């Protein structure tokens, strides 16, 4: 099964952030995803939206990933976890928007999940 365009777009936007924010060499992977999306007209606006959403998640997770839970305190870690959950709902909605726009793949649904849209 090939990967859906919504998932490809999401991963591509995360790689763009990784390329900008770290010293990791992700050029080959970026190129592979760029080639995978090149035949989708107007995909750039979706990718920019996902990049913005994923950037917000990245910012909230950054100190947690670095193991700074003790400096942040459990209350702040919990607050960030809830924000990440809510932003992830935006991320899923954007990926679903891509799926619907290109009529390709399946819409992702969450069951009894607080991030789901009503």
Task: Please check whether residue 54 is in contact with residue 90, taking contact to mean a CB–CB distance below 8 angstroms.
Answer: no
Is residue 110 in a domain?
Answer: no
Question: Is a pLDDT exceeding 60 seen at residue 117?
Answer: no
* pLDDT of the residue at 73: 84
pTM: 0.86
Q: CA of 9: how far to CAs of 6, 17, 59, 64, 66, in Å?
A: 5, 13, 19, 25, 26
* Structural domain for 66, as ranges: 5-102
> Residue 77: pLDDT band by 50, 70, 90 thresholds?
confident
* pLDDT of the residue at 36: 95
Q: Could you give the maximum distance between any two Cα atoms of the chain, in Å? A: 47
* pLDDT of the residue at 118: 43
Is residue 113 in a domain?
Answer: no
Is residue 10 in a domain?
Answer: yes
Total count of domains within the chain = 1
């Amino acid at each position: 099964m090939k990967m859906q365009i919504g998932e490809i777009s999401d991963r591509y936007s995360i790689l763009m952030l990784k390329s900008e924010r770290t010293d990791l060499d992700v050029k080959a992977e970026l190129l592979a995803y760029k080639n995978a999306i090149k035949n989708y007209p107007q995909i750039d606006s979706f990718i920019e939206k996902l990049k913005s959403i994923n950037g917000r998640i990245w910012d909230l997770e950054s100190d947690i990933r670095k193991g700074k839970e003790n400096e942040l305190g459990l209350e702040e870690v919990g607050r960030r976890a809830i924000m990440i959950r809510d932003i992830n709902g935006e991320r899923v909605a954007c990926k679903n928007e891509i799926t619907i726009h290109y009529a390709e793949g399946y819409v992702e649904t969450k069951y009894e999940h607080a991030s789901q849209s009503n």
